[in-house]
Amino acid sequence: MGPCRRGSSGERSWGLGRESVGRRPRGKRVSVSEDGGERECFGSLSADVWLVLGAGLRRRKLTGRLIDSFAAEFGERCAVVGTDELLLGVRGGRLTLHDLHGCEVAAPATAYGRVWTPVASTDREITLLRHLEAMGTALLNPVDAVLACLNKFWHLQQLAVAGLPVPDTLSYANAPLGEAIGAGVPQPCVVKAVRGHRGEQVFLAPDAVMLQGIHGSLGQDAPYLFQEYVAHSHGRDLRVVVVDGRPVASQVRTSPHGDFRSNLAMGGTATLCTGSYPEGEALAVRAAEVLGLGVAGVDLLFTPDGGFTICEVNANVGWREQMTDVTPAVVAALRSRLAAKGRSVPAAR
């Protein structure tokens, strides 16, 4: 872990693990271990704002932009911490955190945790976030909210109970896949693994006969959901980024190749349209509120009546550099949580 700043070479300086770049952070101290030996401990042990990064997220451009903005706003009060750089403990009846040198680390007042949802584990990344929350850290996205978004059907359950519009969907627990299909799925239907991202493991099935013919070739690592196909929104959706109850950026995503999926990772294009679809943005805000997300990406499908239905909600949302209002909104959300904790807040920039 390390403070948010740039090294002398111009590289971002953060991290203690195998992937750290730039120079080591200042703040070296010596800790005496139980066996009487000494070990060196590095890092910003007093940082009260953390950016927590799960596996696969360190080298992304968005991560760099977040680090730069956090550094400009919070300076040495901010640390960037990989989920592979912390040890969790219970000592003397209290929860503790330690770096990989065994030095005890104070939990931050607030943190923005970004974990890659397709691989995030309840036994690993979620356990760490849960530990931080139990130690009093105010997470921008609380653990329960992140959990709801790990599984596409889980957040559909919550949204439906809250009365928000979602497509008709069928899923299963341990039922044989073929029998689940035979029981009656929407026709045509969008087939999705309950865990996935960027349009992967998603396809359009014209009917149940086709599904029965291929179901033996589908992976069984996680269940699938069979969702009503909204033809009116074929190859087009509305992505709204919500931060603390405010729609800070919206874009219409369009598939250029006739594919029903509009994900940018699948070759889609995006047009910024913040404020152009107030009804959709209001629905996105409500969805984030129902799930308890401080930062959310809400994907909406266009319906024939001019309205919207919720396709899915993402806790680990990405945003393009052109969406210039998102990162400042995330920083402002962290500032508000610092203030709520009674911590001093940097002067507004």
Same-domain check for residues 264 and 297: yes
Q: Which pLDDT score is estimated for 31?
A: 38
Which of the pair, 266 or 22, is modelled with greater confidence? 266
Q: Which pLDDT score is estimated for 291?
A: 98
Q: Which pLDDT score is estimated for 45?
A: 53
- Residue 185 banded pLDDT, cuts 50, 70, 90: confident
What does the chain come to in residues? 349
Q: Which of 17-21, 39-43, 73-77, 203-207 has the lowest mean pLDDT?
A: 17-21
Q: Which of 39-43, 57-61, 65-69, 300-304 has the lowest mean pLDDT?
A: 39-43
Same-domain check for residues 44 and 93: yes
Same-domain check for residues 162 and 302: yes
Which residues does residue 87 pair with via DSSP β-bridges, in sequence order? 98
Q: Which pLDDT score is estimated for 199?
A: 58
Which of the pair, 132 or 120, is modelled with greater confidence? 132
pLDDT above 90 covers a percentage of the chain that reads 56
Contact call for residues 306 and 84 (beta carbons, < 8 A): no
Last residue of a domain, one of 188, 208, 228: 228
Contact call for residues 202 and 191 (beta carbons, < 8 A): yes
Q: Does residue 349 fall inside a structural domain?
A: no
Containing structural domain, residue 179: 169-228
- Residue 230 banded pLDDT, cuts 50, 70, 90: very high
Contact call for residues 159 and 310 (beta carbons, < 8 A): yes
Burial (CB count <10 Å: 0-12, 13-18, 19+), residue 206: exposed
Same-domain check for residues 191 and 238: no
Q: Does residue 345 fall inside a structural domain?
A: no
Same-domain check for residues 154 and 303: yes
Same-domain check for residues 15 and 98: yes
How many folded domains does the chain comprise? Answer: 3
Segment 129-155 mean pLDDT: 96
Count of C-beta atoms within a 10 Å radius of residue 282: 13
Q: Residue 232: pLDDT above 50?
A: yes
**CATH at residue 334:** 3.40.50.20
Last residue of a domain, one of 179, 197, 228: 228
Q: pTM to 2 decimals?
A: 0.84
For the stretch 214-248, what's the b/e string if a residue is b when 16 or more beta carbons lie within 10 angstroms of its beta carbon? ebeeeeeeebbbbbbbbeebbeebbbbbbbbeebb
Which of the pair, 234 or 6, is modelled with greater confidence? 234
Q: Does residue 290 fall inside a structural domain?
A: yes
Q: Which of 28-42, 59-73, 323-337 has the lowest mean pLDDT?
A: 28-42
The C-alpha angle with vertex 293 and arms to 288 and 297, in degrees rounded to 5, equals: 60
Q: How far from 133 is each of 109, 211, 313, 329, CA to CA, in Å?
A: 10, 43, 22, 22
- On the CB side of 348, how many CA atoms lie within 13 Å of its CA? 6
**CATH at residue 255:** 3.30.470.20
Q: Residue 33: pLDDT above 80?
A: no
- Residue 312 banded pLDDT, cuts 50, 70, 90: very high
**CATH at residue 186:** 3.30.1490.20
Q: Residue 197: pLDDT above 70?
A: no
Q: Does residue 118 fall inside a structural domain?
A: yes
Last residue of a domain, one of 180, 209, 228: 228
Same-domain check for residues 6 and 135: yes
Q: Which pLDDT score is estimated for 202?
A: 84
**β 110-114/138-139 pair status:** parallel
Q: Which of 6-10, 126-130, 306-310 has the lowest mean pLDDT?
A: 6-10
Same-domain check for residues 161 and 136: no
Segment 220-224 mean pLDDT: 81
* Nearest alpha carbon to residue 139 among 52, 64, 71: 52
Round to the nearest angstrom and report the end-to-end CA distance of the chain. Answer: 26
Same-domain check for residues 195 and 256: no
